[in-house]
Amino acid sequence: MAAAPLLSLQNIQLTFGGTRLLEGAELIVSPGQRIALVGRNGSGKSTLLKIASGEVTHDAGVRFVEPKATLRYLPQEPDLSEFATTLEYVEAGLGPGDDEYRAQYLLSSLGLTGAEDPRKLSGGEGRRAALARVLAPKPDILLLDEPTNHLDLPVIEWLQSELDSLRSAMVLISHDRRFLSDLTRSTVWLDRGVTRRLDKGFGSFEAWRDQVLEEEERDRHKLDRQIVREEHWVRYGVTARRKRNVGRMERLAGLRQDRREQRSVTGSVNMQVSEGRTSGALVVEAENISKVYGDRTIVGDFSTRVLRGDRIGIVGPNGAGKTTLIKMLTGTLKPDSGTIKLGSALELAMLDQGRAKLDPDTRLRDALTGGGSDTLQINGQPKHVVGYMKDFLFTPEQANTPIGKLSGGERARVALARALSLPSNFLVLDEPTNDLDLETLDLLEEMVSEYAGTVVVVSHDRDFLDRVATSVIIAEGNGDWTEYAGGYSDMVIQRGEGVQARAAAKAHRPGKTSMAPIAAPTADAPKRKMSFKQKHALETLPGQIEKLEIEIAAINAALVAPDFYTRDPDGFAKKSKDLIAAEAKRAKAEEQWMELELLREEIEG
């Protein structure tokens, strides 16, 4: 028998400014469940979570919370202003019988002392304090709205581990795919005012969503054809009769009403980058560069080469010096020692982390054009600012809206739109994923992957780095930086751990190469080993690759037959699909073999 729900929202309806935001949304949370709440920006996810927490009152529907259950809610913008210290703020969230020492433990784990003045905290520090407050009582229900926003990777990894250890039921809103995939077991999709539920974690969501949308499109097409048939009957089927069939006319009216009431899927961002001239093959060469502020080494004796087409990810804790490293690599900050050589014909475009260049009083249209014009040049072609706004999901009515009046997600889209409109062959993105929804993230990943120039990206999004980076530079601590081939997961395999900085006592290794293998285990450390599954894959993958190459050669031989297409066009199309599938399998197998071979060399060497 299923456990009674701790929290239940049924047939929730809410209207904002004459627009129906929620049209019968539902959310059922049972003990221990971990639910991903997903949907486009503006779909009402945060509002639904506020209704669940009791902060917002709905127009219609039923909200039920088990009377004995404890519930804690993390908003996107927590308010700490009424408290003298962060410790006082966190302790105020404890209930009778809760462990008061847990408040200090959580603050320390999140990098705070408890003595901070809440009115002087940065956005990231305020979110850490708010996380400590909601986690401290170990509540029965946790409602978390973008818990990873403004957090660096060490804290995200710690938070994921802490949440995984709790027995609380959770509802999570996040743009961090890895975070959602690892933690959730169910998914609620809020789309066009209604919810759909998948009893699988976020890792299975996107394939399911695409299938649902395809089915909807087929149903919409069928409905359109029905309307055409009925309209044809109305016009031509009663020419011999003066009196129309009332029932059939009512059916036509009903079909038209159904079609009007179908809310279309929210549009997608049409993201493209304005590419400049082709740069030289060498983009940046750094030799033994260093930067010291006071008695602190930010970058010490670091070397790297960046070639055209490289996509470099830079990761590390907040304050490690990622922005300082970027400034040196782009030539805007001179190193204290060492040399920086920039390639020829570079055209730089930058997206800064804080969106600092977005004046809150500037109109949207002026922020995109620079003012004084209604057009932009995109890839050498003029484009009206309103059309460019539509590409990034802004309406024409928003053209004169001040930047300060836009939401966080909208400001993120403005910053991206402006950065991508500048002709460039060297793109620097500092935290580009902040406040973007998953669909926009997909398009950003696709754009970065297909960009003909060179990209340097600072990000705390592990999945984003896995999808776009060709190498990752990580802050090791004490000014040490190391570069690893591949994405974030490749770095973890080679390094043997996540982004947490190595022990401060570890001696600085002068003159170390930038592409460093994982350090050899000490006598006290357990020796790493390959699992049986990894060894078996390493042994069998070459045979699989050879079979795929034979299959690909046979398909190519069939396709080049001069009369194949004219003789059997369907067979030709099938063979072409088979070729694409086989090449994809071969590429995946080769990539897997290379990763395992690297791992074997590191363990044995």
3-state secondary structure 65-104: ECCCCCEEEECCCCCCCCCCCHHHHHHCCCCCCCCCHHHH
C-alpha closest to that of 595 among 493, 473, 510, 483: 493
- pLDDT at residue 515 in the model: 43
Q: Output the pLDDT for position 510.
A: 36
CB burial string 77-91: b at 16+ within 10 A, e below: ebebeebebbbebbb
Average pLDDT over residues 572-588: 78
Separate counts of helices (H) and strands (E) for the chain: 18, 20
**Residue 35: burial class (beta carbons within 10 Å; 0-12, 13-18, 19+):** buried
Residue 404 has pLDDT above 90, yes or no: no
The kind and range of the H/E element at 313 are: strand 311-315
Distance CA 384, CA 396 (A): 11
Nearest to 37 by CA among 189, 193, 175: 189
- Report how far residue 266's alpha carbon sits from residue 44's, in angstroms, rounded to the nearest whole number: 13
Please say if the pLDDT value at position 573 is more than 50: yes
Do the domains at 7-206 and 282-495 have one common CATH topology? yes
State the chain's maximal CA–CA distance in angstroms.
99
**51-95: pLDDT as tens digits:** 999 999 999 999 999 999 999 999 988 889 889 999 999 999 998
CA atoms within 13 A on the CB side of 63: 16
**Type of residue at 241:** R
358 vs 435: CA distance, rounded Å: 15
Cβ pair 311, 263 in contact under 8 A? no
Annotated binding site for ATP: 39-46, 316-323
Fold of 7-206: Rossmann fold (3.40.50)
C-alpha–C-alpha distance, residues 359 and 555, integer Å: 57
Q: Above 90 in pLDDT, residue 236?
A: no
Q: Which residue is listed with tokens 């409905």?
A: 223
Query: Known binding site: residues?
Result: 39-46, 316-323
Strands 282-293 and 296-307: antiparallel
Cα–Cα distance, 21 to 579 (Å, whole number): 46
List of residues 6+ apart from 72 with CB closer than 8 A: 93, 133, 134, 135, 137, 139, 141, 142, 143
Domain 532-604 falls under CATH 1.10.287.380:
yes
**Helix then strand then coil, % of the chain, to nearest 5:** 40, 20, 35
Strand partners, 311: 455
Range 567-585 average pLDDT: 79
CA distance 48 to 54: 10
Residue 249 has pLDDT above 60, yes or no: no
**144: pLDDT confidence band, cut at 50, 70 and 90?**
very high
Which range among 89-103, 139-153, 485-499 shows the weakest confidence by mean pLDDT? 485-499
Q: How far apart are CA 302 and CA 11, in angstroms?
A: 58
pLDDT in tens, 186-214: 999 998 889 999 999 999 998 898 888 88
Read off the amino acid at residue 65.
Answer: V
Q: What does the pLDDT read at residue 187?
A: 95
* Four-residue CA torsion sign, 74, 78, 83, 87: positive
Distance CA 224, CA 218 (A): 10
298 within 8 A of 324, measured Cβ to Cβ: yes
The CATH code for residues 282-495 is 3.40.50.300
Which stretches within 487-563 are classed as H helix? 488-495, 532-559
With a cut of 80, say whether residue 464 has pLDDT above it: yes
pLDDT surpassing 50 at residue 2 = yes
Tokens of 356: 């600092």
Angle at 172 between CA 98 and CA 393, to 5 degrees: 145
The Cα 562–Cα 558 span in angstroms is 9
Tokens of 140: 């029965």
d(CA 57, CA 443): 35
Q: How far apart are CA 273 and CA 112, in angstroms?
A: 40
Task: Give which of 444, 136, 477, 127 is closest to 269, Cα–Cα.
Answer: 444
Q: What is the pLDDT of residue 61?
A: 94
Residue 43 has pLDDT above 60, yes or no: yes
Residue ranges of domains in the chain: 7-206, 207-261, 282-495, 532-604
Q: Name the pTM for this structure.
A: 0.68
Higher pLDDT: 379 or 475? It is 475
Beta-strand pair 471-477/480-485: antiparallel
Mean pLDDT across the stretch 308-314?
92
Whole-number Å distance between alpha carbons of 479 and 292: 9
**pLDDT, mean of residues 385-411:** 81
143: β partners? 73, 171
**Residue 23: which H helix or E strand, with range?**
strand 19-29
Which residues make Cβ contacts (< 8 Å) with residue 158, sequence separation at least 6? Answer: 109, 110
316 φ/ψ sector (left φ>0, alpha ψ -120 to 50, else beta):
left
Q: Is the separation of the CB atoms in 327 and 334 below 8 Å? A: no
Angle between helices 123-135 and 101-109 (to 10 degrees): 140
